[in-house]
């Protein structure tokens, strides 16, 4: 039960972080969305062996963390939740890619290089997406998507799925609480009750969804989820977008760590 309540709290903490009033939070949602999309595009465009080129892209999430005054632990814990999927995707690479790569005078399979590249790319993309939600909020992000003419059905589905996962978990917590009150000396749910509890949860979920829909209709819902208007994009916000896009492009075109190493080597010589 405590694990479910902790999960509910952890889900809502991103919405709480999005209510802060830092400079990053005040940036227009569309600007932050376009910046994040540009960042994700550049990250996934790197080759499977190009780990060094990805390192400069760590600057973006680090700067957002600092300027938005976000705690690292909640974001890091969410990255750990998806880490098994990252590992599952890349763990087989060392068994299929047996080409030898020299690293510091030692031979290493290129499969491990691609595995590490997948982990870095996945970590960067997940972190960027979480930072976007933590500094914007799902409602404002949905408004930015509608400004890009994304179909309202897709935006509505995304928004309601995100928002009402917590409702489903509350129903699960309520069902488990009722079960524990009827079996106070039993730890957990007995396997013989799994089927009936799952059926009750499905029925309660359908009933709750119907009541939510009826409440939305009574408040004037006609298929469009209105998130309110936005102010016009200001000049400094466009400069923010342009600056990051130029940096991402430079990091993609040039191997910045190699360029810096060459300059240092040239000075030493």
Please give the pLDDT value at position 144.
Answer: 86
What is the distance between the alpha carbons of residues 197 and 211, in angstroms, rounded to a whole number? 21
Instruction: Report pLDDT for 268.
Output: 45
Cβ pair 263, 56 in contact under 8 A: no
Residue 10 has pLDDT above 70, yes or no: no
What are the angstrom distances between the C-alpha of 249 and each of 64, 148, 238, 252, 255? 18, 22, 16, 5, 11
Q: What pLDDT, on a 0 to 100 scale, did the predictor assign at position 41?
A: 94
pLDDT in tens, 95-139: 776 666 655 566 667 777 788 888 889 889 999 999 998 999 888
**149, 151, 186, 194, 256 from 121: Cα distances, Å:** 28, 28, 44, 39, 17
The per-residue pLDDT of the chain, averaged, comes to 81
- Tokens for 103, please give them: 């690293």
Asked whether residue 229 carries a pLDDT value surpassing 50, the answer given is yes
183 falls in which pLDDT band (50, 70, 90)?
confident
Terminal Cα-to-Cα distance of the chain (whole angstroms): 65
Lookup result for tokens 């062996």: 49
The per-residue pLDDT for range 205-218, each reduced to its tens digit, is 788 778 888 888 88
| pLDDT at residue 1 in the model | 47
Of the candidates 251, 171, 176, the one whose C-alpha atom is nearest the C-alpha of residue 212 is 171
What pLDDT sits at residue 104? 57
Give me the pLDDT at residue 17, please.
85
The DSSP annotation for 116-178 comes to: HHHHHHHHHHHHHHHHHHHHH-HHHHHHHHHHTT--HHHHHHHHHHHHHHHHHHHHHHHHHHH
Name the residue ranges covered by the structural domains of the chain: 2-148+234-268, 152-218
pLDDT of residue 53: 83
Sign of CA dihedral 264, 266, 267, 269: positive
Q: Dump pLDDT digits (tens) for 53-68.
A: 888 899 999 999 999 9
Lowest-confidence segment of 16-20, 208-212, 226-230 by average pLDDT: 226-230
* Angstrom distance (rounded) from CA 223 to CA 131: 28
Q: Given 3-state DSSP classes, what are the helix, strand and coil percentages for the chain, each rounded to the nearest 5?
A: 75, 5, 20
DSSP 266: H
- The arithmetic mean of pLDDT across residues 63-83, rounded, is 86
Give Cβ neighbours of residue 238 (< 8 Å, ≥ 6 apart): 31
């Amino acid at each position: 039960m405590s694990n479910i309540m902790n999960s509910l709290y952890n889900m809502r903490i991103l919405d709480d972080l999005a209510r802060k009033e830092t400079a990053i939070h005040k940036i227009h949602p569309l600007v932050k969305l376009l910046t994040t999309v540009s960042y994700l595009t550049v990250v996934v465009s790197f080759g499977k062996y190009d780990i060094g080129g990805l390192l400069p892209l760590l600057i973006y999430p680090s700067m957002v963390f600092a300027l938005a005054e976000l705690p690292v632990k909640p974001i890091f814990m969410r990255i750990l939740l998806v880490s098994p999927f990252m590992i599952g995707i890349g763990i087989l690479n060392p068994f299929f890619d047996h080409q030898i790569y020299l690293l510091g005078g030692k031979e290493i399979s290129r499969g491990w290089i691609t595995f590490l590249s997948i982990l870095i790319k996945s970590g960067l993309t997940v972190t960027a997406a979480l930072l976007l939600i933590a500094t914007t909020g799902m409602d404002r992000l949905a408004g930015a998507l509608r400004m890009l003419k994304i179909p309202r059905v897709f935006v509505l589905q995304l928004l309601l799925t995100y928002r009402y996962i917590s409702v489903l978990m509350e129903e699960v917590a309520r069902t488990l609480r009722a079960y524990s009150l009827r079996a106070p000396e039993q730890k957990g749910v007995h396997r013989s009750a799994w089927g009936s509890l799952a059926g009750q949860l499905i029925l309660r979920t359908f009933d709750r969804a119907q009541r939510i829909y009826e409440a939305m209709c009574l408040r004037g819902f006609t298929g469009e989820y209105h998130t309110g208007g936005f102010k016009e994009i200001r000049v400094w916000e466009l400069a923010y977008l342009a600056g990051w896009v130029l940096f991402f492009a430079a990091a993609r075109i040039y191997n910045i760590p190699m360029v810096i190493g060459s300059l240092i080597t040239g000075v030493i010589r």
